[in-house]
Chain A
Amino acid sequence: MKQRGRIAHWAGCAAVLIWSLVPIYWSLKTSVETEAAARAQNYVPLHPTMGNYATLLTRSGDLPGQIRRATLNIVIECGAATIVTVVLATLAGYAFARMQFRGRQTLFYAVLATMAFPAYTTLIPLYKIMSDFSLVNTYTGIVLVYVSGFLPLATWVLHNYFVSMPIGLEEAALIDGATRLQVLRRIVLPLARPAIISTALITFLFAWAQFLFPLVLSTDSSTQPLTVVIAALQGRHVVPSTLLNAAGVLAIAVPALLALAFNRYIVNGLLAGSNK
């Protein structure tokens, strides 16, 4: 009986590993093969080569140039969106958690209401607004849209964390004559670091995964992120699958490493964001 339980447990663990890793492994494998080797369908790469990566990262030409530009774009867009989102969400979350002001309830409910709507509800109007302000094909346009999308969740998570923090230290500092901003910077921010890191990571990963918004908001390669460029390559049959997979591995390298390194922060942030 006990033996059977242990076998079932390890079989379950194996299922988790196989389910999560096989597609990633297969892509990694294809990305280090030549086209001929990929067609042979071996389960392991017999003669691994970095040729595909070398082509993408160092070779000049249309495709590698586009991939490198798209990599730069996605880093800029996700980085900027994360910084702006976390800063604004921290300020607003703190105000909601600790300060009294008129319209606080109304605004808070407005923030929560926007979280209930599917993101694509506002796809077309956001495109129209951005094109009215000539922000299509600009970093600003994409970052504004990302921030507007991620700000409500980030504010909600940070607000909850601030509320859960003991208030005594802040009160003591205020009585001793510290200003609100000093309290925020010297006491609240250091204590809230785990929540801020979680929020930043989740925002960054959400931004990295965006596809339909940048597809609509950037029509040329000057601002297209890696996701949009890779999806466009997929449709073109001249791009060999080995090269396509190498580009895919480049696109998942950053989020995969972040997820593996900071999984505790991500798990906490996800649970804080969705358990209401």
Chain B
Amino acid sequence: MVKGSSLPDEKLAAPAAVPPAGRPAAGRRLSRRQQGGRPAERRALAARGLPYLLVAPLTLFIIGLALIPAAFTIIESFYRANPLDPPTRFDGIGNFRRLFANNAVITSFGNTAGYVIVGVVLSTVLGIFFAVVLRNPFRGRGILIAVLILPWALPGVVEGILWTGIFDPSSGLLNGVLSSLHLTSHGSVLLGDNRWLTIVLIELVQVWQITPLSTLLVLAAMQLMPHELFQAAAIDGCGPWQSFWRITLPLARPGIAVAIVQALIATLNVFDQPYVLNGAATTGASITEQTYFISFQNLDFGGGYALSLLITMITLIISLIVVRGVYRRIDY
């Protein structure tokens, strides 16, 4: 991505860096010279050390609690690390081989694929739809945006609780509505019975959480589009549908790409919603849930490391492919 390019120019930052060491100290050096010039030098030295002091805590956090743990995950995934089966020893690709021989793990890959497909498609489509609704100014738009971001702000676990009230077989809203329309019999079980129905319904809860960000990203991209473009198209006889498909959608690609990537990362790592809505039941368990079960219930840390590494690699590779495929830089 183009993240690094926002570092300021050397030229821009350089003059700012000189004065603290040079200018104020220089003025004082004349008067201090008789006394030996020590405080000025000390001040200059302190100014030079300051940036290191400012970034030191961040550096410690990054090294100690991000880079070292990440290295651990990579290295230990090739070790047999299980407190019930000591000592920790090198095991080559043993962990990976055991994972692929484990049916629950294989199933969780399928489940996660289900979460990803349902989640990415629904959150992107809904995000584009909501962005179109909120695109032009109207009275109450600010309130609507505030309401829109609500689900994003709430903890996934508690969202699971909110939605159990909707999915509950006997007192849930969904069954109530469906059975009053005579679409289902009263009290039919929605979660945990049928694998794909379970996955779709659980993912709906996560879509509820991630759609606000998708909407905002697409909306921000739409806000950059010049009005004249649509006026010109309208004069040329382009209807609203046509201008949506031919102009809005292609020009919103940068926003849509970022929206898809955030949805991908969230859905590939889904944990809270299936954990709460479906408990420890294996119907619909995601890869992250399996990682948790393997490491913290079976205490097979080696297997957990290997599975974490796999999800990380999959996430990075798929995100990269999406960015390459969907993202287009657009200059107006």
In this assembly, does B95 line the interface, its C-beta being within 8 Å of a C-beta of chain A? Answer: no
Judge whether A209 and B154 touch: CB under 8 Å: yes
Q: Is B247 an interface residue (CB 8 A)?
A: no
Q: Give the residue name and chain of the A residue nearest to B320 (CB).
A: A116
Q: Determine if B293 is an interface residue (Cβ-Cβ < 8 Å).
A: no
Return A191 CB to nearest CB of chain B, in Å: 15
Known A100-B13, A121-B70; 19 more pairs at CB < 8 Å: A5-B240, A17-B147, A19-B211, A20-B150, A23-B151, A39-B171, A99-B13, A99-B51, A99-B54, A107-B59, A118-B312, A121-B308, A124-B304, A125-B76, A147-B61, A209-B155, A241-B171, A258-B153, A266-B149
Please report which residues of chain B, range 287-329, place their CB below 8 angstroms from some CB of chain A when the two chains form the complex. 288, 291-292, 295-296, 301, 304-305, 308-309, 311-312, 315-316, 319
B50 to nearest A CB, angstroms?
Answer: 5
Assess whether A112 is in contact with B162, with CB atoms less than 8 Å apart: no
Indicate if the CB atoms of A107 and B24 lie closer than 8 Å: no
Judge whether A50 is part of the interface by a CB distance below 8 angstroms. no
Task: Give per-residue flags for A100-129: 1 if the beta carbon is below 8 A from chain B beta carbons, else 0.
Answer: 110011011111101011111111111111
Tell which of B76, B276, B305 touches A231, judged by Cβ atoms closer than 8 Å: B276
Q: Are A227 and B147 in contact (CB under 8 A)?
A: no
Tell me if B42 is interfacial: C-beta within 8 Å of chain A: no
A interface residue numbers (CB < 8 A to B): 5, 9, 12-13, 15-17, 19-24, 26-27, 30, 38-39, 41, 88-89, 91-92, 94-101, 104-105, 107-112, 114, 116-129, 144-145, 147-148, 151-152, 155-156, 159-160, 163, 167, 170-171, 174-175, 177-181, 205, 208-212, 216, 227-228, 230-231, 234-235, 241, 244-245, 247-248, 251-252, 255-256, 258-260, 263, 266-267, 270-271, 274-276
Q: Is the interface of B mostly helix, strand, loop or mixed?
A: helix
- The contact of B20 among A30, A111, A155, A174, by CB within 8 Å, is A174
- Bound form: Cα–Cα A266–B1 in Å: 24
A-contacting 9-mer, from B29-37, B104-112, B230-238, B262-270: B262-270
A177 partner residues in chain B, CB cutoff 8 A:
23-24, 27
Once the chains bind, are B176 and A41 in contact (CB under 8 Å)?
yes
